[in-house]
Structure 1
């Protein structure tokens, strides 16, 4: 797996999602069937922008991949509140939860791969 390509793609994706959440938090919340206030959606968007910026920066990507994993876990915890029977859009929230769960798996695999590559590079240097 090419971590440079993954780093750039995830960085751009994070920034795009983050800008959307910061610019239109009510719309994002309503469209996705979330039961979250605008400040929470904006804060999650700001976190995405920070993660994306870190991934697009020239520093090593490892910690930034793990920041995405942590953010995904936060997203899943927030989405859990939107899955109740009292949410008329719970089916949409359930679909979003499934997508985020899939992204969490991908982010975790990439973060683990960055650790493996880091260790391999360290062993090769000795």
Structure 2
């Protein structure tokens, strides 16, 4: 019985390592058409972040934001609650697609919410 437990544990660990190595990106070449992503922000920058969190999740977000701003003094994060439920946030995002200048810099969202935005090249790949 102990042998099978050890075998299962070793097999699971091996599968995990294979899975992690398959997910890694060893492609070090960069596309000439891709924009350069800055690694340091030298001028004052404000990021508007829409979210729909309450309670301890909202408190944690506020703490993480303060910690981030402390480490990155040139970046100010404006946390903007869009209500206490996801449907309020989703509705505001969908209506904002009609007038993109009113959209935030970053938003909390599920992938399905932003299909039209992706289709119309309104999203930026940060990876």
Q: Same fold (TM over 0.5)?
A: no
TM-score normalised per structure 1: 0.25
Write 1 or 2 for the structure with the bigger share of helix: 1
Larger radius of gyration: 2
